[in-house]
Structure 1
Amino acid sequence: MSKPIQLIVACSENRVIGRDRRLPFDIPEDKRWFHDQTAGQTVVLGRICYETWPQVLADGRQPIVITSNQSLASSRVRVARNVAAALQIAQTLPGEIMVCGGQRIYEETLPLADRLLLTLVHAEICGDTYFPEWRHLAWRETWRKESADANYRYTFSTLERA
C-alpha cells in the first residue's frame, strides 16, 4: 500500500506563495507550524525551495530535490529528475511524504494529493509564484485554527481528499 501524499503550503487569498525566490510574508507562527509538521518526514521539493530553506536538513527531514543538477545529491539529499521519480523514492523512505513546493511541483502533485496542510493568509499579496487553484477540488476540512499576528490574519487548515 502506498503512503499518502501531503502538500504543505502557506498562500495568500490570491494564491501567492513567493516573490523574488522568497516567501512573500513573514509569519513566525506559520514557520513554526511548517517546521513542526515536516520534522522527521520525507520532504519533496524543487531546487529553488531546497536552496532557500536553510533548515531543510535539520530535525530528521529526508529531502528529495527535483532537479537535473545531480551535484546536489549527497548521503543526506536524494535527487530526482521529475515528480514521478521523486514520489517513487519517497515511498521507500521512512516518515510521511510532505510536498513543500514550489509552484511547478505543487501543480504536478495537487491532483495526486490525499491531504493539504494549508495556511491561508487572508490578504491579497503581490508575488510571482503561485499555488494552483485548489478550491474547486473535492476536499473536506478535518481541522481548522484561526490565528493572527501584527500583520496578517490567517487560517491553518487540514483538508482531506473527499
Structure 2
Amino acid sequence: MPPPINLIVACGENRVIGQGRRLPFDIPEDKRWFHDRTANTTVVLGRICYEIWPRVRLDGRVPVVVSSNPALAQPGVHVAATVPAALAIARALPGEIMVCGGQRIYEETLPVADRILLTLVHAEVPGDVFFPEWRHLPWRETWRRESADANYRYTFSILERAR
C-alpha cells in the first residue's frame, strides 16, 4: 500500500496562502508546527516554495521539487517535471509524504490527498496565492486545537479523507 499523501498548509478564511512570494502572516507557533511535522519526511513542493524555503533540506527532509529545470537536482534533492512524476518519486522514498505547496501543487494533489494538516487563520488576509477550496469535499476532522497570538486566532486541525 502506498504511503498516504498529506497536505500541510496554513491559510486564511479566504484560502490565501501567499502574498508576493511570502507567507501572508507571521505565526511562530504555526512555523514550529510546520517544521516539526515536515521533519524526516519527503516534501513535495513547487520551485518557488523550494527557492524561498532555506531550511528545506534540514531536519531530515528530502525535497521533491516540481520544476521543468533539471539543474535544480543535486544530492538529496529530486526534481520532477510534473506533479504525478513527483508523487511517484515520493512514493518510492522512505517515510511520510508532505505536500507543502504552492497553489498549483495543492490544486493537483488535493484530489488524491489522504489527509490535510490545516492551520486555519481566522482572518481574511490579502494575497495572490490560494489553497484550493476543500470544504465541499468529504473530510472528517480527527484532531483539533485552537490557539492565538497577539495578531491572530487560528485552529490547527487534521482532516482525513472520508472513505
Identify the TM-score tier after normalising by the shorter chain: over 0.9
* Whole-Å separation in 2 of the counterparts to 1:12 and 1:104: 17
Give the counterpart letter for 1:121 in structure 2: V
Deviation at 1:5, TM superposition (A): 0.5
Structure 2: 5+ residue stretches without partners: none
The answer to whether 1:107 aligns with 2:136 is no
Tell me the SS of whatever aligns to 1:33: helix
What does residue 16 of structure 1 align with?
16
Tell me the SS of whatever aligns to 2:136: coil
Deviation at 1:11, TM superposition (A): 0.1
Give the counterpart letter for 1:156 in structure 2: F
Quick one: percent identity of the two aligned structures? 77
What does residue 137 of structure 2 align with?
137
Give the counterpart letter for 2:36 in structure 1: D
**What TM-score does the superposition give when structure 1 sets the normalisation length?**
0.99
What is the alpha-carbon root mean square deviation over aligned residues? 0.4
Deviation at 1:30, TM superposition (A): 0.2
Structure-to-structure mapping, 1:70-85, within 5 angstroms: 70-85=70-85
The answer to whether 1:95 aligns with 2:87 is no
What does residue 40 of structure 2 align with?
40
Deviation at 1:62, TM superposition (A): 0.3
Aligned residues between the structures: 162
* Whole-Å separation in 2 of the counterparts to 1:75 and 1:64: 12
Tell me the SS of whatever aligns to 1:117: strand
Structure 1: 5+ residue stretches without partners: none
Deviation at 1:94, TM superposition (A): 1.1
What does residue 160 of structure 1 align with?
160
Tell me the SS of whatever aligns to 1:75: coil
What does residue 56 of structure 1 align with?
56
Runs of 4+, deviation exceeding 2 Å: none
Deviation at 1:76, TM superposition (A): 1.1
**What TM-score does the superposition give when structure 2 sets the normalisation length?**
0.99
What does residue 148 of structure 1 align with?
148
Give the counterpart letter for 1:57 in structure 2: R
Give CA-to-partner distance per residue, 1:114-136, whole Å, 9 cap, x none. 00000000000000000000000
